[in-house]
Amino acid sequence: MSSTWMTTRAWLLMLPLLVIMLAVIGWPMVDTVRLSFTDAKLIGSGGAFVGFDNYLKMLSNNNFQRALYATTWFAVVSVTAEMVIGVLAALLLNQRFYGRTVLRALLILPWALPTVVNATLWRLIYNPEYGALNAALTQVGLLDSYRSWLGEPGTAMTALIIADCWKNFPLVALIALAALQAVPRDITSASLVDGAGPFARFRFVILPYLAGPLMVALVLRTIEAFKVFDIIWVMTRGGPANSTRTLSILVYQEAFSFQRAGSGASLALVVTLIVTVLAIGYGMLVRRTAGSAA
């Protein structure tokens, strides 16, 4: 059987999937691009053509700049914390001790919880009237009175980052733990015989095996954190005083709350472009890391 026929048959087999993807992804994307150049409302006529006015207004809008800063801050801090905590948890769970299997199983629970459930759980913990965090800090003498952690601009974003880290660091830990299984025992044993300390063993023996998998985890978590919506919407809805309003929250408010479909479409495309650039950049880093490892 010729290779040409094999290739043709492969494309024919993929044709139904390609048609579905074109209908589900392609057409909505084209329509979003069209809407972004109009002043269309969510309810009503299709809107008049306005060119790049939506993009120019958006880029000069203070709300967009604040949302971009909040999104970047949330992504950088949460992903950094998740990577550090995840690697430390993986190193701990890679050691031999009693109950390790149980802890490995429990590690999956936060990540397995639906995001809405996780957000509701942390809202209860942060509750200003009966929250567990206020009760614990008051009992140990660190607080004189209960605080509204999600109601103060100075603490709301930090509270969200903690909740997001608790849910997502297990993903990093599981990826790192799987990579640690590939580290040869004889190499670690030899490093111990040579007198290498814990930091030297991690830097020169373990880290080269973790670099590739951790880069994949970094790509996944950065993209997810940059387009975060659900956990913030459930916990703060972008407040207080828009201090936790990210780009995805701003897109939702523009398109659905304010019913400005054209402006919302332009915002959505900008967010898509930023995420695409991040994905391409990280993809290049992954290939470079894999190439140097080979």
pLDDT band at 194 (very low <50, low <70, confident <90, very high): low
Query: Considering the chain, what percentage of its residues have pLDDT values greater than 70?
Result: 93
Report the pLDDT value the prediction gives residue 290, as an integer from 0 to 100: 58
One-letter amino acid at 292 equals S
| Three-state SS at 49 | strand
CB 235 within 8 A of CB 163: yes
Query: For 81, how many CA atoms within 13 A lie in the half-sphere containing its CB?
Result: 17
| Distance, CA of 69 to CA of 63 (rounded, Å) | 10
pLDDT tens per residue across span 141-165: 888 889 999 999 989 999 999 999 9
State how far the Cα of 156 lies from the Cα of 89, in Å rounded to an integer.
26
CB-based contacts of 168, cutoff 8 Å, min separation 6:
78, 82, 110, 111, 221, 224
Highest mean pLDDT among 184-193, 196-205, 236-245: 236-245
User: Terminal CA-to-CA distance of the chain, rounded, Å?
Assistant: 35
Give me the mean pLDDT over the 10-20 stretch: 87
Q: What is the pLDDT of residues 107-144, one digit of tens each?
A: 889 999 999 999 999 999 999 988 999 999 999 988 88
pTM: 0.87
Question: Which DSSP letter does residue 38 get?
Answer: B
Q: Which fold has domain 40-293?
A: MetI-like fold (1.10.3720)
pLDDT band at 15, cuts 50/70/90?
Answer: confident
Amino acid at 6: M
Domain boundaries, the chain: 40-293
> Bigger pLDDT: 100 or 124?
124
